Amino acid sequence: MGRIVDMPAVYFTDKDFEEKVLKAKGVVLVDFYADWCGPCKAAAPVIEELSEEYKGKMVVGKVNVDENQQTTGKFGIMSIPTVIVFKDGKEVERMSGFAGKEGYVKLIEKALGEK
């Protein structure tokens, strides 16, 4: 499974999810996806765009549900893509399905706006 190296979104795994997301300060958007999922493929370029646009304000990352079933199960991911926004390690927003860039931006702005 080749991944494009120069993409700004980071990949989280079962091993580092707690450290990089749950113990993180600030806002982290996590895209739960699978390589075989059509809507996930549609969402992927948008996730990459958001990681570039919000660089320095928040972390944008991805979790492959097939490779990281422990984390997927812990957060009750039943359909993909599912995006969860964490703030200081706590889930503050969640969206299942791909609602376009606008839908994700609303989640992000809401999370970033909460002080």
Catalytic residues: 37, 40
Taking the C-alpha atoms of residue 30 and residue 61, their distance in angstroms, rounded to an integer, is: 5
Q: Where are the beta strands (DSSP E) in 8-115?
A: 10-11, 27-33, 59-64, 82-87, 90-96
- The maximal CA–CA distance of the chain, rounded, in angstroms, is 39
**By the 8 A CB rule, do 86 and 30 touch?**
yes
